[in-house]
Amino acid sequence: MENRSHAIIAGLFVLVLLAAAAITAIWIGRKNVTYEPFELVSQLPVGGLSVQSQVRYQGMPVGQVQGLGFDQENPGSIRISIGVLPQTPVTKGTWAEISTQGVTGISNIDLRDDGRDPEKVVSTPSKPYLIPVRPGFFQRLQSAGVDMVSDFEGVLRQLESFVTKENATAFTEIMNNTRTLTASLNQSVIKLEPTLQELPGLARDLKRSLEVFDGMGNDVSSLVKSAQTTIDMLNSSNGPIGQAALSLKQLERSAAQLQSSVLPEVNRVLESLSRASRTFDRTMREVERAPQSLLFGAPEVRPGPGEPGFDGFNQ
């Protein structure tokens, strides 16, 4: 009996201690904190969200959920009332996401802000500011999963439309043709095997031919060098072409000298010969007309009309 009474007393003591701890926790949790009121209207599921759920700003606890209810103005939407600390920098660029904590199923409100619209907002109990709600990570993942399932269903439907009796028959024919083509290729490989065995010999012959061509290329290179040397020798100042050019220049100077000194004398001699020839020609005509002039000289010229001694035309 004493052991039972001691156990009862110990149990009562534990219960009293737990009750005191619970009362203390409730009293501490209900400390006097002033929150600024805000509201959210969500068309997304709010499973796991309840009154006193935590509100965080960029991951930092700043408040709690104060109420959940239906939005009378937007059927199908949930209106969420939250309270945040006055120093929380809620701006016009702030939005809310409903995030789920792991596998516990407990949801919180996460306030996000990218700083694009830093203007502060004013929210009062009579007119709380409405913060827009965007899908959180799990909502986006769920939406992507739904889209993926829809796409997969579409692929399955396309496969079902593809797998018909006609397509199966065509696929069987393709496989048979592939099998026949493979057999033909095997036969071709067998026929080509002797030719493939001769390839090393052909490669050696080709190598020898290339070596011969290489030697010919060296000979051609030597010939080109010799021709270039000959051309350089011909084009040099002491070469045949240079000497010929020098001789032509000397001949040109001699011709110029001949033209300037000898030709004028020759021209004068030719003019004298021309005058002598004309004189001799006149003399010969006089002799033909009066041969006696060689003995008696030229006949005296009778005076003409109007000259002294003119006797008229009757003599």
Greater confidence, 139 or 272? 272
Q: Which position has the token pair 């002033």?
A: 34
DSSP SS3 for 279: helix
> Mean pLDDT lowest for which of 73-87, 91-105, 117-131?
91-105
- Give tens-digit pLDDT for 87-107: 999 999 999 998 887 677 788
Considering the chain, what is the average pLDDT of its residues?
77
Residue from 281, 278, 283, 279 nearest 294 by CA: 283
CA distance 39 to 232: 101
| Mean pLDDT to the nearest integer, 199-210 | 78
Domain extents in the chain? 36-135, 165-235
What was the pLDDT predicted at 191?
76
- Give tens-digit pLDDT for 65-75: 999 999 888 88
pLDDT at 51 over 90: yes
pLDDT at 263 over 80: no
What was the pLDDT predicted at 95?
93
DSSP H helices, the chain, are 2-29, 137-162, 165-235, 240-289, 293-296
What was the pLDDT predicted at 262?
63
DSSP SS3 for 38: strand
159 phi and psi angles, rounded to 5 deg: -65, -40
pLDDT at 121 over 80: yes
